[in-house]
Amino acid sequence: MTKQIIRRKQVDDQYLPVELHPLIKQIYARRGVTSSDELLLNVKQLISVEQLRGVEQACLILHQAFIEKSKIIIVGDFDADGATSTALMMEALSLLGFSQHSFIVPNRFEYGYGLTPEIVELAAKQGADLIITVDNGISCLSGVDRAKTLGIKVIVTDHHLPGKQLPNADAIVNPNQPNCTFASKSIAGVGVAFYLMLGLRKYFREQNVFTDHQFNEPNLAQLLDLVALGTVADVVSLDANNRILVEQGLKRIRAGKTRFGIQALIEIAGRNQQQLVASDFGFALGPRINAAGRLDDMSYGINCLLAQDLMTARAMAQELDALNKTRREIEQGMQLEAENIFNQLKLSQTQLPSAIALYQADWHQGVIGIVAGRLKEKFHRPSIVFALAKEDSLINDNSVEIKGSARSIPGLHIRDLLEHISSQNPDLITKFGGHAMAAGLSIKLKDFEKFQQCFVQVANDWLSDEDLQCCLLSDGEIPASAMNLAFAEQLRLAGPWGQNFLEPLFDDEFELIQQRIVGEKHLKLVVQKNKQLFDAIGFNVDINAWPNSQAKKVRLAYRLDVNEFRGKRSLQLMVEYLTVA
């Protein structure tokens, strides 16, 4: 799809430290950094746990559970945020003196998402006195009701947007619930779990629990590697508070202070632990953990994070790596099929609908979210991909359910759109939930075409022509004096970069010296500017358009990166978009 490169405007950056590189100062100012204090990223600047509504009530319940040695079941989610949240809660409770706790993660193919009544029954069979949800629960009304019926207390910790009705839990800790003043509304599920444990440690200190029970107050900073991984992998907005959590977790990992599971995942992904950056969580570690929940059982990913020795962790990381390779193969096949559906329609860019909703009976439920994301990136349209909720469903059964995973573009809040469709068509969507940019839903197969029509119509009404134009925001040209490895190293460590605190993107014209396809559809380039040669690579390019023997000059939108090969580090341009100049 044709993309428009728009250069960011020059803004005032005089209030930022003079010792910063001028280009980095400008990059920070353009991303909304308003003072030098925001660049410190130390734990003292974290938002106070007192601002998080529900923590005090949750601490009262947990203290009572501690005294009574109650059986606690943690119910997680089957993605990387859910896995890190579950692992964090398991470890934090142990550090705080609890001994009767375990976890359940619903298998997406058997139970579906969240605290369902079926999961509550399973927890009850395991003797649960208290259920704590992590990264889910705010929309699980019937599950919480079932728990209360069985006499099981429930603490909901979540970060997803609530519906009109809140669950009847004994305590709810979620910054997005009504009347919560916690400023970081974009905190991940693992961040919410971490804050609750900070609150519990403070409460235990005030109640003299550590003194009375003769054990040391734990340093919960040792959990920040999990917080950093889950935060980036869940693609939440990196506001100031989230950047602190991620940076502190990265510092611990780089210093060798991380758990065996994360160390093993870094090794299997071929990353350098001392040079790890936030994007490594999103592109290397997170997908391997997610693969367990997508194709098998997320318990495997959680147990890798909880591994007590490196040998065990390495064995589990290898299994997760194998699952991730299988996931890639499935994803590539599904993506090709989805793109073929569109190609057969022979639509021009101006004829594309305002939204995409696709379903195929043999698509894999665990990979639909990734495929929706790929379609969104390729066509710059909000996209939903559906698969059968249960693989053995009878297609001719009118009651058969299909599950969809949605990804959106800037300008369209996908959860709000689903809520609007549901309010206008009360029986169309069985259930839904999510964020501005990603959501999940269930509908009946017989209603797919009706939903598809509603989805496209509402998207068309809500999106402007400008919204449907794919624009790349560039920080402009890099001066020749900064086109080197030293500046690229500075830029890597100037983050953490991520959602809504975007890694710098630059654009410029280069002479094209060499071009070739590697790994089926990646374009390896050698380009030249000011008599300097640069290696560049673009992933998943249109192989019908590239290599282009007629091209002598190219305009690249690119990111500066450091390529590490056999211990040697070199400058590399990561091409986001290219056209013939």
User: Per-residue pLDDT tens for 407-424?
Assistant: 999 999 999 999 999 999
Give the integer Cα–Cα distance in Å for 74 and 89. 8
Lowest average pLDDT, out of 153-167, 323-337, 388-402, goes to 388-402
Exposed / middle / buried, residue 68 (Cβ in 10 Å: 0-12, 13-18, 19+)? exposed
The yes-or-no verdict on residue 393 having pLDDT over 70 is no
Exposed / middle / buried, residue 211 (Cβ in 10 Å: 0-12, 13-18, 19+)? exposed
Please check whether the domain covering 472-580 is classified as CATH 2.40.50.460: yes
Q: How does residue 426 score in pLDDT terms, banded at 50, 70 and 90?
A: very high
Q: Which residues pair with 441 in a beta bridge?
A: 404, 432
Mean pLDDT value of segment 475-490? 95
pLDDT digits over 271-312, tens only?
Answer: 999 999 999 999 999 999 999 988 888 899 999 999 999 999
Q: How does residue 347 score in pLDDT terms, banded at 50, 70 and 90?
A: low
The yes-or-no verdict on residue 349 having pLDDT over 80 is no
The yes-or-no verdict on residue 519 having pLDDT over 90 is no
Per-residue model confidence (pLDDT) at position 296: 83
Per-residue model confidence (pLDDT) at position 193: 98
pLDDT digits over 115-141, tens only?
Answer: 999 999 999 999 999 999 999 999 999
Q: What integer best gives the mean pLDDT of the chain?
A: 93
User: Measured in whole angstroms, how far is the alpha carbon of residue 192 from the centre of its chain?
Assistant: 15
Per-residue model confidence (pLDDT) at position 516: 95
Give the integer Cα–Cα distance in Å for 274 and 284. 15
Say if 44-321 and 472-580 have the same CATH topology.
no
Mean pLDDT value of segment 526-540? 95
Q: Which two tokens stand for residue 551?
A: 């091209």
- Which one of 3.40.50.740, 3.30.950.10, 3.10.310.30, 3.90.1150.10 gives the CATH number of domain 347-462? 3.10.310.30
Mean pLDDT value of segment 86-98? 98
Mean pLDDT value of segment 172-186? 97
Lowest average pLDDT, out of 17-26, 292-301, 504-513, goes to 292-301
Q: 69: phi > 0 → left, psi -120 to 50 → alpha, else beta; which?
A: left
Structural fold of domain 44-321: inorganic pyrophosphatase (n-terminal core) (3.90.1640)
* Closest by Cα among 191, 176, 179, 129 to 155: 129
Q: How does residue 59 score in pLDDT terms, banded at 50, 70 and 90?
A: very high
Give the integer Cα–Cα distance in Å for 144 and 75. 12
Per-residue model confidence (pLDDT) at position 154: 98
Q: Are strands 429-434 and 438-444 parallel, antiparallel or unpaired?
A: antiparallel
Per-residue model confidence (pLDDT) at position 225: 98
Q: Where are the chain's structural domains?
A: 44-321, 347-462, 472-580
Give the integer Cα–Cα distance in Å for 512 and 19. 35
Mean pLDDT value of segment 166-195? 97
The yes-or-no verdict on residue 111 having pLDDT over 90 is no
Is there a contact between 570 and 533 (Cβ–Cβ < 8 Å)?
no
